[in-house]
Amino acid sequence: MPTITETPITATLLQVNGVTIPAIKSYKVTYAHLWKDADRNMNGSVRASLIGIFPKIEVETRDVLTRTELQSIYTALESLPFYSVTFWDPATDTTKTADYYTADWTAEMLSKNRGLYKGAKIILTPVNKRS
């Protein structure tokens, strides 16, 4: 099996409104292609217009969060309706900043006596297409 050597990513993976999202366990960017007027003709060829590429970000934190970590996530995600998000873009190997929004996310208690919460899953959807 070949050895794979790569330079580590030293940039912060995800900041929402200037708050670094703590304890990231998994990080995924989906480059969603949004089309309009998509249709196939009688020959089976597709005709459509690409509206743009919208990088959706999915993050899961580690399985146990402290109250402080959970509160920092809350602080970042509760300044509705849109967030300024700075994220690591694997396709360009750089950080990008854009406006995003999110749906529901859950704060589930793990231990009241220890003040611990279960991990969070956050899905951020871009407001505009990638520039």
d(CA 109, CA 65): 9
CATH number at 109 reads 2.40.30
Confidence (pLDDT) at 78:
85
Q: 62 in a domain, yes or no?
A: yes
d(CA 96, CA 99): 10
Q: Provide the domain count of the chain.
A: 1
The structure's pTM equals: 0.86
Q: What is the pLDDT along the chain (131 residues), one digit of tens a residue?
A: 778 878 898 899 999 999 999 999 999 999 999 999 888 888 888 888 999 999 999 999 999 999 999 999 999 998 778 999 999 999 999 999 999 999 888 889 999 999 999 999 999 999 999 98
Where in the sequence is the domain holding 31, given as residue range(s)?
14-126
Q: 131 in a domain, yes or no?
A: no
Rounded to 5 degrees, φ, ψ at 78 are: -105, 10
Q: Which residues are registered as beta bridge partners of 45?
A: none
Cα–chain center distance at 67: 22
| Three-state helix/strand/coil letters over 73-120 | HHHHHCCCCCEEEEEEECCCCEEEEEEEEECCCCCCEEECCCCEEECC
